[in-house]
Amino acid sequence: MIDRKDMLELTRRMTPTRTCMRRIAGAYFDRDGEIDNTFNIRFLNLNPTDKAKHLAIAKTVPFAKTNEQLIEHVFPKESKGKGSIWQLLQGVHSCGLENDLLMEVLYEQIGKYYSAAGPYAAAVFHGTYDVPMKSSDNGYLYESEEVYDFIICTISPQGEDYEIGKPDYGFLFPAFSFRSGDPGRIDIFNRLPEYPQKALTDVILGKRA
């Protein structure tokens, strides 16, 4: 189960003035999953308008209804082998989105398994959150407990001129559980839980070859 307080704590560092985001990358797809274009840029190089717009997109995942739209999943032990999506996510996470080959492989998996009625866009964010320690009365202390390094991926309908809409699907990896990163888990977002992207979710969790 996801603790709502953990997610809200994370979103508090997703504002233009206090952003924890370091980089944003992504791809634009046609309705058949073919890649039309890609981008990769340092987040701080965005202008203020684009920063606010993309932060709103990223926040959709942790700010979603916990344990309803946003569900925590455990990676089965057998899904962590060589060539697995878990290994790919570990690589994307470790490189901070700066390995173009790994990003291309991720986009290819999304294009192959994501189901869409029209053109769509995937945006991947890399962030770091210096998790503060809590006092006995649950107040925050200045000392850091750990640095939570994470990626958020969102998939949204694409409008004109490569405009990215509100996300329909996404994930947070590693999961932010008990105020700590857990690479054995992933939080997956479905805007409409009754219509889940089962094929892509199964691939991410290693349930589909």
Helices 100-113, 85-95: axis angle to 10 degrees equals 140
Q: Give tens-digit pLDDT for 74-97.
A: 999 999 988 899 999 999 999 999
Alpha-carbon separation of residue 96 from 43, 50, 61, 149 (angstroms): 12, 20, 19, 9
User: Would residue 91 be called left, alpha or beta, if left means φ above 0 and alpha means ψ between -120 and 50 degrees?
Assistant: alpha
Alpha helices (H) in 14-132, listed in sequence order: 48-59, 85-95, 100-113
Question: In the predicted model, what is the mean pLDDT of residues 103-116?
Answer: 97
DSSP β-ladder status, 175-177 and 70-74: unpaired
Find the radius of gyration of the CA atoms of the chain.
16
Q: Give tens-digit pLDDT for 189-198.
A: 999 999 999 9
Q: pTM of the full predicted structure?
A: 0.93
Banded pLDDT at 141 (limits 50, 70, 90):
low
Banded pLDDT at 137 (limits 50, 70, 90):
low
State how far the Cα of 59 lies from the Cα of 154, in Å rounded to an integer: 10
